[in-house]
Amino acid sequence: MTVRLTPHPDTPSDAATAVEVAVHRGSPEKLELTWTIMGDQERIRLPGRQDPDRTDDLWRHTCFELFLKAGDLGYYEFNFSPSLQWAAYRFDGYRSGMREAAPASITGVGGRVEPGIFGGHSTVDLTGLPDLNLNVPLTAGLSAVIEETDGRKSYWALAHPPGKPDFHHPIAFAREIPTVVYW
């Protein structure tokens, strides 16, 4: 499934014209994500390449985000930077009880650049994450922070709540990722 994100109305982008995310659930516990930013890549600030390690505060610069609802109130947040760094957090409720999460693995982190297009890819193995039922559709939020070379940021998501950009808001969890059925 491929979805198009929309910019928050208060943070339009001069550099990015569109952001798309392709999500593939190849097995109940694995999500493959491919992010594509279309626009003037010369005006998008990309962090320098690093080792693909867990790192905090990736959202402060250009990065891609996946949110998954877990249980009644909790959810997970995953950040993927074009630097190849990543982060994973568990929340007990709306912006509360934040702590590091330990997915079974995050692999295949990479990027691509071609004229007018920049993208990233990663695979998340969700095995063993508490309160995440992998046998049902997953309720997800997909988003991106795009930093321009002049320091301005635009915030892209499936849906935006009223007010300032807020990817954690329940309205942002606007897509179901279906279960995988084999026969």
> What CATH number is associated with residue 161?
2.60.40
pLDDT value for 182: 61
User: Is 70 within the bounds of a domain?
Assistant: yes
Indicate whether 173 pLDDT > 90. Answer: yes
- How many CA atoms lie less than 13 Å away from 28 in the CB half-sphere? 12
pTM of the predicted model, to two decimals? 0.94
User: Is 183 within the bounds of a domain?
Assistant: no
Give the C-alpha separation, 27 to 179, whole Å: 8
User: Is 152 within the bounds of a domain?
Assistant: yes
pLDDT value for 183: 58
Indicate whether 157 pLDDT > 90. Answer: yes
Rg of the chain over Cα atoms, rounded to whole angstroms, equals: 15
Structure confidence by residue, pLDDT tens digits, 134-143: 989 999 999 9
Structure confidence by residue, pLDDT tens digits, 66-110: 999 997 889 999 999 988 899 999 999 999 999 999 887 887 777
User: Is 182 within the bounds of a domain?
Assistant: no
Structure tokens at 90: 């568990």
- SS3 string, 13-42, reads CCCEEEEEEEEEEEECCEEEEEEEEEECHH
Indicate whether 181 pLDDT > 90. Answer: no
Domain around 137? 2-177
In this prediction, residue 165 has a pLDDT band, given cuts at 50, 70 and 90, of: very high
| Of 21, 23, 121, 100, the residue nearest 54 (C-alpha) | 100
pLDDT value for 5: 98
pLDDT value for 73: 84
- How many structural domains comprise the chain? 1
Structure confidence by residue, pLDDT tens digits, 29-61: 999 999 999 999 889 998 888 888 899 999 999
Q: What is the mean pLDDT of the chain?
A: 92
Do the beta carbons of residue 35 and residue 144 sit within 8 Å? yes
